[in-house]
């Protein structure tokens, strides 16, 4: 008997550790609600996780097995579960953050002391950390070189789903409720969780939108991206299954442009691998900059600015729309994540770690590697980051990517009845015009052109250029 410890792999298909265990022995599927991990969780993610767990449990029950659960420290709970079920080994899929790796080491030691073997597998990425390296054997810090190697590789095959006779005849306790875990109902409408929701999303996306992804992915109103990020975060779909569906879509392309579009989508999966490889090699970058300047950046302490940003009342329509989408949907469109992150760090001159902490609390798809990677990219401190002098103008961004102000109107009700021109030139209107078209929407809290200059000075001072 082998215990499979589910963590961020809430699925039974294309699951490397589960598949390996089932190919050698009978498997006891287990999940541990770890209070330590839950201190880093938040309401939207816990809601998504509980729904995903419910579907996973139903999958096992349909096969006369169950998901055995416990609440507590996995270093105590897993040896107990293994002992009670007569298991000789525990298997799990690796995670890449420093905290997760420390916990896994502790669990490994506790199991060894109890005489139980452990084995971990690389499952979450298309290509494992350490498998795509420079000639010197280091991880890449420039994406384009990483991507050249990534795209030339043979796609990995899907792992087999365990046969029902390989699943132990066990029964699990009821899950703790959200309240018992100490979380309130999420403020946001959390997307549908679980393996079938993930499969349907992937199938719908690969059936059409993928062919226009390159053109439309930057338009936040177009709803043209896959929406797979919470599923990839929680592992309700296997990454190899995603890659296989993209390969199938590529084999069926209507024209060359559609083929390029599939590749553009693949490059986003490669960014996900890239950031995980960078984090695995540099676990300290969750709190420290990946790339240091001569001196620390002298970020501003501006609690009012931070509050306005969090509440979506900066007077920059696309920034406010994004920050409100975060609260209502627990997600933000990628282009808008870049805009709001640039606004916090380059217009408000506030430390990216403040933004990261807010995203971590509010995002249903918060994934350490991608979130840190995205924030450090915007702040100009990350691997292959935006250069410090290239600063998004939030008004040009809205004019270019939301030219009908459709996304802004969806998320900012105060601007719903305002004419498009007024929204796209909100920073140029005088107070009478603003009061006439949208009296309850604020004027810009900072002057972008002035803050742009100040941001460049801030970074040049950190570079030692003064
Ligand atoms: C400041 C900031 C914070 C971010 N925080 C997160 C986060 O916590 N979790 C997260 O999954 N993504 C994060 N991203 C990346 C990106 O915004 C989301 O992955 C994307 O918006 C999710 O929507 P989708 O699934 O429809 O993406 P699609 O465009 O359909 O892309 C498919 C998948 O590729 C991966 N991907 C796409 N873009 C990126 C990227 N730039 N970097 C890394 N992986 C990418 C994701 O897994 C995504 O689900 C962040 C970006 C920024 C700028």
CATH of the domain at 255: 1.25.40.80
- 242 within ligand 1 shell (Cβ under 6 A): no
The atom number, within ligand 1, closest to the CA of 337 reads 53
**In this structure, is residue 178 part of a structural domain?**
no
**In this structure, is residue 89 part of a structural domain?**
yes
Range 366-376 average pLDDT: 96
* Per-residue model confidence (pLDDT) at position 98: 83
The answer on pLDDT for 215 being more than 90 is yes
- 363 within ligand 1 shell (Cβ under 6 A): yes
- Say if residue 428 is exposed, middle or buried (CB neighbours under 10 Å; 0-12, 13-18, 19+): exposed
Of 215, 250, 281, at which residue does a domain stop?
281
Query: Which tokens go with 287?
Result: 């709190």
Question: CATH number of the domain that 62 lies in?
Answer: 3.40.50.620
Residues 428 and 308 in one domain: yes
Range 397-426 average pLDDT: 98
- 370 within ligand 1 shell (Cβ under 6 A): yes
Residues 311 and 399 in one domain: yes
Of 123, 153, 184, at which residue does a domain stop?
123
Residue whose CA is at the smallest distance from ligand 1 atom 11: 229
Distance from Cα 334 to the centre of ligand 1, integer Å: 6
* Per-residue model confidence (pLDDT) at position 292: 84
- 213 within ligand 1 shell (Cβ under 6 A): no
CB neighbour list of residue 235: distance below 8 Å, 6 or more residues apart: 8, 9, 10, 11, 15, 93, 123, 124
Residue whose CA is at the smallest distance from ligand 1 atom 21: 334
Highest mean pLDDT pick, 129-143, 248-262, 420-434: 420-434
Question: Any idea which residue has 């939301």 for tokens?
Answer: 402
Tell me how crowded residue 89 is: count the other CB atoms within 10 A of its CB. Answer: 17
Range 220-235 average pLDDT: 97
- 275 within ligand 1 shell (Cβ under 6 A): yes
Greatest alpha-carbon span in the chain: 76
Q: What span, in angstroms and rounded, lies between the C-alpha atoms of 1 and 26? A: 5
**In this structure, is residue 160 part of a structural domain?**
no
- 356 within ligand 1 shell (Cβ under 6 A): no
Q: What is the mean pLDDT of the chain?
A: 96
pLDDT band at 346 (very low <50, low <70, confident <90, very high): very high
pLDDT band at 466 (very low <50, low <70, confident <90, very high): low
The answer on pLDDT for 258 being more than 90 is yes
The answer on pLDDT for 248 being more than 90 is yes
CA distances 406 to 21, 86, 133, Å, are: 50, 59, 43
Range 322-349 average pLDDT: 98
* Per-residue model confidence (pLDDT) at position 11: 98
**In this structure, is residue 130 part of a structural domain?**
no
Question: Any idea which residue has 């201190």 for tokens?
Answer: 39
Q: What span, in angstroms and rounded, lies between the C-alpha atoms of 462 and 442? A: 33
CB–CB of 18/4 below 8 Å?
Answer: yes
Query: Which tokens go with 38?
Result: 């839950």
- Say if residue 457 is exposed, middle or buried (CB neighbours under 10 Å; 0-12, 13-18, 19+): middle
Domain range for 84: 2-123
- Considering only residues 100 and 359, tell me which one the structure prediction assigns the higher pLDDT: 359
* Per-residue model confidence (pLDDT) at position 254: 84
Distance from Cα 410 to the centre of ligand 1, integer Å: 21
Angle formed by the axes of helices 352-362 and 368-379, nearest 10°: 150
* Per-residue model confidence (pLDDT) at position 205: 98
Range 397-410 average pLDDT: 98
Residues 364 and 325 in one domain: yes
**In this structure, is residue 180 part of a structural domain?**
no
**Terminal Cα distance for the chain, rounded:** 66
Q: What span, in angstroms and rounded, lies between the C-alpha atoms of 348 and 332? A: 20
**In this structure, is residue 142 part of a structural domain?**
no
- 268 within ligand 1 shell (Cβ under 6 A): yes
Query: Which tokens go with 118?
Result: 């452990």
Residues 307 and 452 in one domain: yes
Residues 332 and 223 in one domain: no
Q: What span, in angstroms and rounded, lies between the C-alpha atoms of 37 and 213? A: 35
**In this structure, is residue 145 part of a structural domain?**
no
Proportion of the chain above pLDDT 70, given as a percent: 100
Taking only the tens place, the pLDDT of each residue in 19-62 is 999 999 999 999 999 999 999 999 999 999 999 999 999 999 99
Range 2-20 average pLDDT: 98
Total structural domains within the chain = 3
CB neighbour list of residue 232: distance below 8 Å, 6 or more residues apart: 239, 242, 272, 365, 367
**In this structure, is residue 140 part of a structural domain?**
no
């Amino acid at each position: 008997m082998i215990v499979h410890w589910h963590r961020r792999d809430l699925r039974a298909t294309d699951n490397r550790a589960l598949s390996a265990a089932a190919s050698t022995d009978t498997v006891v599927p287990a999940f541990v609600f770890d209070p330590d991990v839950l201190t880093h969780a938040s309401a939207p993610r816990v809601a998504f996780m509980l729904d995903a767990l419910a579907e996973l449990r139903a999958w096992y029950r349909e096969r006369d097995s169950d998901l055995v659960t416990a609440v507590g420290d996995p270093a105590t709970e897993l040896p107990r579960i293994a002992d009670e079920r007569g298991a000789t080994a525990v298997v799990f899929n690796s995670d890449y953050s420093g905290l997760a790796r420390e916990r896994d080491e502790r669990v490994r030691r506790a199991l060894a002391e109890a005489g139980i073997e452990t084995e971990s597998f690389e499952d979450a990425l298309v290509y494992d950390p350490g498998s795509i390296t420079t000639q010197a054997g280091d991880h890449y810090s420039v994406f384009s070189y990483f991507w050249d190697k990534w795209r030339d590789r043979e796609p990995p095959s899907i792992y087999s789903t365990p046969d029902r006779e390989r699943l132990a005849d066990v029964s699990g306790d009821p899950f703790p409720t959200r309240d018992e875990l100490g979380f309130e109902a999420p403020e946001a409408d959390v997307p549908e969780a679980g393996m079938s929701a993930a499969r349907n999303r992937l199938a719908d996306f690969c059936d059409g939108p993928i062919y226009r992804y390159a053109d439309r992915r930057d338009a936040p109103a177009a709803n043209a991206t896959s929406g797979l990020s919470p599923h990839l975060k929680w592992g309700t779909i296997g990454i190899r299954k995603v890659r296989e569906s993209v390969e199938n879509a590529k084999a069926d392309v209507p024209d060359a442009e559609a083929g390029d579009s599939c590749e553009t989508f693949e490059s986003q999966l490669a960014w996900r691998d890239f950031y995980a490889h960078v984090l695995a090699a540099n676990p300290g970058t969750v709190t420290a900059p990946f790339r240091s300047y001569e001196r620390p950046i002298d970020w501003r302490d501006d609690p009012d600015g931070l509050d306005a940003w969090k509440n979506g009342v900066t007077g920059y329509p696309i920034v406010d729309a994004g920050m409100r989408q975060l609260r209502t949907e627990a997600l933000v469109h990628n282009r808008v994540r870049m805009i709001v992150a640039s606004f916090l760090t380059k217009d408000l001159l506030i430390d990216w770690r403040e933004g990261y902490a807010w995203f971590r609390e509010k995002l249903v798809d918060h994934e350490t590697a991608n979130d840190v990677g995205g924030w450090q990219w915007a702040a100009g401190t990350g691997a292959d980051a935006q250069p410090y002098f290239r600063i998004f103008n939030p008004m040009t961004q809205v004019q270019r990517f939301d030219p009908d102000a459709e996304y802004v109107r969806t998320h900012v009700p105060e601007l719903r009845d305002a004419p498009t021109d007024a929204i796209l030139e909100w920073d140029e209107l005088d107070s009478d015009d603003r009061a006439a078209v949208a009296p309850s929407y604020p004027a810009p809290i900072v002057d972008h052109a002035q803050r742009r200059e100040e941001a460049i000075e801030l970074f040049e001072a950190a570079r030692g250029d003064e």
